[in-house]
Amino acid sequence: MAVRRAPAVTDRDLWAQYPFLPGAEALIAEYSPSLGELLDAPAYARARELGRIRVRAAADDPTGTAALGELDRADPDLRFLSFMYARLLLSVASTSAPGRRWAVAEARRAADRLESVADRQPEEFVGVSRLLGFPAASTPGGYEFSLPDFLRLAAGLREPEFRLVHQRLARGLVEVSTDRAARLLQEGIRVRLTTSLPAEIGPEVRNRLEALEAEFLRDLAQRVPLPAQRRGVMVLRAEYFPPCIRKMRRMLEGGENLAHSGRFALAAFLHRVGASFDTIVDSYRGAPDFDESISRYQIEHITQRDGGRGYDPPTCETLRSQGFCFREGDPTASRAEDRARDPRCFDPSLVRPTQYYRLKGGAAVERPAAEAAAGAPPPAATRPRSDGPG
């Protein structure tokens, strides 16, 4: 594997472009604003404003596709300090949701840059990959990673083109095209950023930051509200789930692909019957194309509608037309209960799977009468690269 030189640690432009790389913190001493100065000294007002812009842009567009002209035009010192300030802000945010969105957006921005320089400045691509801990080498067709690194990076990606069976593998190396190499590093960056939060901040700095940024933090909480707002504690009774939902869960647990409409129905149902946000995310972990960041984003979208009540699960009629109704039984199931016809599903008053859950004794979350009658998948325009939680 031809290894090119790593970028010089003193390269300010590089650290400004990739401020999450290990070693970047060493620049803080060089820039030398103490944490206190960064928090409220007039000289750093612009860095703070750019930091807020980074966080706000990610909250509104977690796909990270929106251009941040002000950031692009800022000098390297300002870019770097704004990143540091954004990280501080996210570390005192009331929930981890804005931080997850920020990680996705920042990783996407960095990957776009990597992809744009990959052909004309491969040493930058290679250097960043090495510092991230996934050393790549340029090849005539793109870049190559060691097999273990490829598997680690691709583990969280749902796109089918990243499955090992679709890769060119030789001498323990996996060769991928430039855009796929950038996508792989994007995932490595996302994980690195996600796990870097919250930053370690002393109580004095925390209190000061919370006071100084109270208004911004309130606004942020409204932009990224809690995924599920519940009245009281709900007890989830999986044994009361209807045949359609049981089938969807079996499919995911067995590593089968579940169509987008099924993924939407499952998330909407679980939310309505009181499942926590993480429980819903966990339901998709078995999907062959599971991507945690995309799943979390999409489940947030499904469950946050109407102040946290979420979308209505589809009706039984809709599920039947989509091939998800298993009231006649699922002949492929291993349990006799799943293979059998379910008489409750033939009750003429049954309109939605949540009613089945209630009929069996589960306590579904109350739905206000004014809420829309029909469930609908989230608008495609709001979805990141692929659709449906998974």
Q: Give the footprint of ligand SF4 on this chain (CB under 6 A).
A: 242-244, 316, 319, 325-327, 345, 350, 353, 356
Least distance between ligand SF4 and beta carbon 286 (Å):
20
Instruction: Quote the least distance from Cβ 246 to ligand SF4, whole Å.
Output: 9
Strand duo 173-176 + 137-139: pairing: unpaired
Neighbours of 209 (CB within 10 A): 21
Closer of 85 and 324 to ligand SF4 (Cβ): 324
Q: How far is the CB of 22 from ligand SF4 (least distance, A)?
A: 50
Rounded to a whole number of angstroms, the minimum distance from the CB of residue 278 to ligand SF4 is: 25
Alpha helices in the chain (DSSP H): 12-17, 26-31, 35-40, 45-60, 69-73, 76-91, 97-117, 122-132, 147-154, 178-195, 203-212, 214-223, 243-253, 260-272, 277-283, 292-308, 316-321, 336-339, 353-359
Question: Which lies closer to ligand SF4 via its Cβ, residue 191 or residue 245?
Answer: 245
Q: Nearest Cα to 105, choosing from 80, 128, 86?
A: 86
Which residue lies nearer to ligand SF4 by CB, 163 or 360?
360
Nearest CB to ligand SF4, comparing residues 127 and 353? 353
For ligand SF4, give the closer residue by CB, 18 or 324: 324
Contacts of 364 by beta carbon, 8 Å cutoff, 6+ apart? 272, 273, 274, 354, 355, 357, 358
Residue 137 main-chain phi, psi, to 5 deg = -130, 140
| Nearest distance in Å: CB 346, ligand SF4 | 8
Minimum distance from residue 364 beta carbon to ligand SF4 (Å): 12
Nearer to ligand SF4, 203 or 348 (CB): 348
